[in-house]
A and B are shown apart, each in its own frame.
Chain A
Amino acid sequence: MAKLKFGVVIFPGSNCDYDTYYALRDVCKQKTIFLWHKEHDLKNVDCVVLPGGFSYGDYLRSGSIAAFSPLMQEVKEFALKGGLVLGICNGFQVLLELGLLPGAMLRNKNLKFLCQFVHIRVENDKTRFSHRAKKGQTLKIPIAHFDGNYFAPPETIAEIKKNNQIVFRYSDAEGKINEEANVNGSAESIAGLINKAGNVLGMMPHPERASEILLGSEDGRVIFESIIAKLN
């Protein structure tokens, strides 16, 4: 089986770059390289991953400055041509700032940083990022963010729902959606969102932190494995 090439982008302030690289290269055994934010070269990768962290310190607004980095102009073009892009946590925030996904992030509803395992329910198992999972299945994956409270105006939410763009929702362990399980207060309990074309996914939970039993869960691997299976 030909091994894929994943490109993990490093912005100044990225701090899940090595974790994502490790999950892809050492756990999933995929060919993985780093991409440097100042360059314009995507090095022919099959899938671009925007990792978590605090790009540019997140000082202005989470993900806002990273969206202007040289490499992101290439990533945008790549995405518009149908290339696979996965944004995790800060990477999701960058995708929102880039306009590749609709909506924005607000502060968590309790106004505190939240680091904990959550459960997310698979809402759409027909995407290239989730087809190895089953609709209704719950995945145990950690979150770690301050701004993960997804927000979009009602007409956008209606559009997202109509297009079946919600891939993951926060739920309890049994898959029930309720306010308590929606820890950060996201609209529609949205934890993961795909673009209309189906090639760009943003998610707040960290699948790379749930790829080994030793770390408490390997539920996150299904996302990487979905991408790998589809591209093979």
Chain B
Amino acid sequence: MIDKKIIEEYNLTQEEYEKIVELIGREPNITELGIFSLMWSEHCSYKSSKIHLKKFPVRGKNVIQGPGENAGIIDIGDGLAAVFKIESHNHPSYIEPYQGAATGIGGILRDIFTMGARPIALLDSLRFGPLSKSKNKSIMEGVISGIAGYGNSIGVPTVGGDIYFNNCYSLNPLVNVFALGIAEKDKIFYAKAEGIGNPVLYVGSKTGRDGIHGATMASAEFDQNSEEKRPNVQVGDPFKEKLLVEACLEVMAKDIIVGIQDMGAAGLTCSTTEMAANSGAGIEINLDHVPQREEGMTPYEMMLSESQERMLIVAKKDKFKEVQKIFSKWDLEAVIIGHVTEGGRLKVKFEGEIVVDLPVDAIVNLCPVYNRERKAPSYLKSETLLPPLPQPKNYNQTLLKLLSSATIAEKEWVYRQYDHTVQVNTAFLPGADASVLRIKNTKKALALTLDGNSLYSYLNPRTGGKIAVAEACRNLACVGARPVGVTNCLNFGNPEKPEIMWQFKEVVEGVAQACRAFDIPVTGGNVSFYNDTEGISIYPSPVIGVVGIVDDVSKAVSPGFKEEGDSVVLLGENKEELGGSEYLKCVFNMEKGIPPQIDLKEEKRIQEFCLEAISLDLVESAHDISEGGLSISLVECSLLSRRKIGIRLHLQDDMRRDALLFGETQSRIVVSSSSQKLQKLLNLAEKRKVKASVLGKTAGNRIILYHFNKKIIDVPVDEAHKAWKEAIPDIFRIK
């Protein structure tokens, strides 16, 4: 008997329950209720975000697959397609960091190879609480080990990403994982269940009781007892998944299957119903045939299990033996558990009885959609006001302090735990503005980046959304890549709070505006709501992934200076903007102010100029200006140069010195140019109406900056390097 208490336990509202009864014409049994609870959860149904996500531009001449499938697909020429997506694994990573992150990697990789693409790159966007707390350190260590443990074993390089630290992530770390694969353009597979009578095969690992209710867990707030949910987190087996990749790609190379879907969140339930719904068909399965790891599992447990490394395949009727043969070669099970039926129903048999009989359309497509109440949060007024602030007395010290802040400091300690060179495509090591991966047998490369400064989004969600896209595209421009597709992971608090919903709508608006301005389609993404623990919500945290193409990989540009005596040129304009800066956070412990403004047209002009200059071979290095501002960006160009070349530069802008050095004004890029090419670069800038200021030259082994002829910074490169390089290892050193 299903009563109010049960409905609540299943995270459904009374209205939702009534709608279920109406749709199926009777009361559901408990297994059926579990199925609706999962498929109608926020995580699976996007019921609060759907109406807003419609604002994203999704069309473009290179789009092969937009949002709605396992991953987005962009035509990259040469008969190839890039298949990519980002997804969150925040909740499980808080409860069990290693397995939470590891299974996040496993899940996103399945989304890619399910479509027929061989995964070639992983990136992660991570957000943790401050590392002064040991709990945050252990979460970060666990997450990084989990990513490494899974990604390294399966042999997909982790080539980039970003990490930010903020108090709001102490109880809600964010683990957003991005994967990209390459497929032949005309050999893409979809989650289809076509052809009445075609067999449905279950392949991969056995089903256990792990991860039951994972998606439901990700659709509610956490409280003090969250750790009790540890059994809800799945356990990953990268070795199994490696076999699964190889077997699936081998099967897909032959004309023997109709459709394929991974069993991710909501396991068997989601894969069967989605495949059937996508094709207007039904599926009938018999749970007695499902390979099981544990004894005595109920239909409920089997349908809701989120055991990892499993896939569902609809094979061609006369070819299933060939499918089984390939899986057996890779020592994997491939068992027929059912077949495609007419009539659009999911029928599940167990021990001779029908235990589920539901219309798939109701499960997949008829979940209620909400236009939730929105209200601008009250903090906006007070938080955007800055009190009068004193300027630093010793700029050398301030610079070193910023270099060693966890957000700015070098992340080698992190990325050297990841295999980032396997698959022999990695042209730029992690640490560059964007990851650059050559595409074998072509001249081209793919450039990938993730970005998202959530403090900006907290202080002005719309601006934050725009900047996240702008900065990601700027990263690509700096290596010489034009953006071709966007994916996004939108991490927010509880959407039932009007303030959160307002933040969400504003961020989406900002992201959509920027994508339209840059003319790049959104091909998919993921929304993660309910990032609240004990009533504290995270900052609105959009993470934007952009994929770009470098036409000639030999022309790609890295951020480090190349030669002494090259001119250092600033593209764009300095403005007095201190709000939301890492400087305020680091020096004044203040997360306030109006974040930097952005003019998308101006931004686009700068990026296009940078791309043109790179294509004409006019620059030796290019690096964008972001956290820490102009001074940090300049120093990074020195630190990333092979010989640690110093600089001697003059700044002539009339404004607060700290704002000039550390303000995070957008639409700025630092490039260097050899003396032979400088004039050509400046001429081109004039022609394109881009402000280009020659600041001075690379020289010696010190970082020297003058402001109106007064020397304000003079630090040996080695000292700056030490501060930047040792900060994170220092935090994790066992003392």
Contacts and interface: CB of A to CB of B under 8 A. Distances in A.
A115 B421 contact: yes
Contacts of A19: 422-424
Contacts of A214: 427, 438, 553-554
Nearest to A208: B424
Interface stretch (A50-58, A99-107, A159-167, A185-193): A50-58
B470 to A, nearest CB: 29
A12 B243 contact: yes
A142 B331 CA distance: 32
Output the residue of B152, B153, B417, B424 with the most chain A CB within 10 A.
B424
Contacts of B596: none
Contacts of A209: 421-422, 424
A189 B440 CA distance: 34
Interface string A17-54: 01100110010000000000000000000000000111
B278 to A, nearest CB: 32
Contacts of A216: 429
A66 to B, nearest CB: 12
B495 interface: no
B421 A206 contact: yes
Nearest to A112: B417
B419 interface: yes
Nearest to B440: A22
Interface in B426-448: 426-427, 429, 438, 440
Contacts of A211: 424
Interface in A50-93: 52-54, 56-59
Contacts of B331: 12
Interface string A103-128: 00000000011111000000000000
B427 A57 contact: no
Nearest to B158: A115
A215 interface: yes
A12 to B, nearest CB: 6
Interface string A178-203: 00000000000000000000000000
Contacts of B242: 12-13, 15, 54, 57
Contact of B153 (A23, A58, A142): A58
Contacts of B240: 57
B423 A142 contact: no
Nearest to B237: A57
B154 interface: yes
Given A57-B153, A215-B427, A13 B239 contact: yes
A216 B429 CA distance: 9
Contact of B148 (A18, A58, A113, A142): A113
Contacts of A112: 416-417
Contacts of A54: 152-153, 155, 238-239, 242
Nearest to A53: B155
Contacts of B440: 22, 26
Contact of B417 (A26, A115, A142, A212): A115
A138 B554 CA distance: 26
Interface in B605-628: none
A22 B424 contact: yes
B330 A12 contact: yes
B456 interface: no
A43 B417 CA distance: 37
Sort A-B residue pairs by CB-CB distance and give the 10 closest, nearest first.
A15-B155, A57-B239, A54-B153, A144-B419, A19-B424, A115-B419, A142-B421, A113-B417, A209-B421, A116-B416
Given A113-B416, A115-B152, A215-B427, 16 more contacts: A13-B239, A15-B154, A16-B155, A19-B423, A53-B155, A54-B238, A54-B239, A57-B240, A112-B417, A115-B416, A115-B420, A142-B421, A144-B152, A144-B419, A144-B421, A214-B554
Interface of B: 148, 152-155, 237-240, 242-243, 330-331, 415-424, 426-427, 429, 438, 440, 553-554
11 contacts: A12-B243, A12-B331, A15-B422, A16-B422, A18-B423, A54-B152, A57-B238, A59-B239, A112-B416, A146-B152, A206-B421
